[in-house]
Amino acid sequence: GENVEQHPSTLSVQEGDSAVIKCTYSDSASNYFPWYKQELGKRPQLIIDIRSNVGEKKDQRIAVTLNKTAKHFSLHITETQPEDSAVYFCAASIWAGTASKLTFGTGTRLQVTL
């Protein structure tokens, strides 16, 4: 089955700096890669996703890149703000237009300091 590894497990950046979180996956059939943000005591929420037919996607200060050959994908947050502090999870799935399970990484705790 699919295995997703995520690094680093913790990340501390100063406000305004950029943060990068990296994930690798094992199943070359995976084609859908979402990122979820989980604030302390809250439920995970989707922040951005990418499908395997594109290499990069951007939404304001957040971007995701995908390298299918290397089976790597990364989350980039620019101009970080204190409200970006949370745990971020990457995930992978085989998406064919219907339900499919997500295999999650172990999470990255991002701390944005003033």
| Among positions 74, 93, 110, 112, the unique one binding another protein when judged by CB under 8 A | 93
Site for another protein in 95-114 (CB under 8 A): 95, 97-107
The residue among 74 and 93 lying less far from another protein, judged by its C-beta, is 93
Single out the segment in contact with another protein by CB under 8 A; choices: 54-62, 64-72, 74-82, 91-99. 91-99
Cα–Cα distance for residue pair 71/106, rounded to 1 Å = 17
Strands 45-51 and 32-38: antiparallel
CA separation, residue 11 to residues 1, 19, 69, 78, 87 (Å):
28, 8, 26, 14, 10
Site for another protein in 24-53 (CB under 8 A): 32, 34, 42-46, 49, 51
CB 77 within 8 A of CB 18: yes
Cα–Cα distance for residue pair 97/75, rounded to 1 Å = 24
Q: Is 14 in the site for another protein (CB under 8 A)?
A: no
Residues contributing to the site for another protein (CB under 8 A): 1, 6, 32, 34, 42-46, 49, 51, 89, 91, 93, 95, 97-107
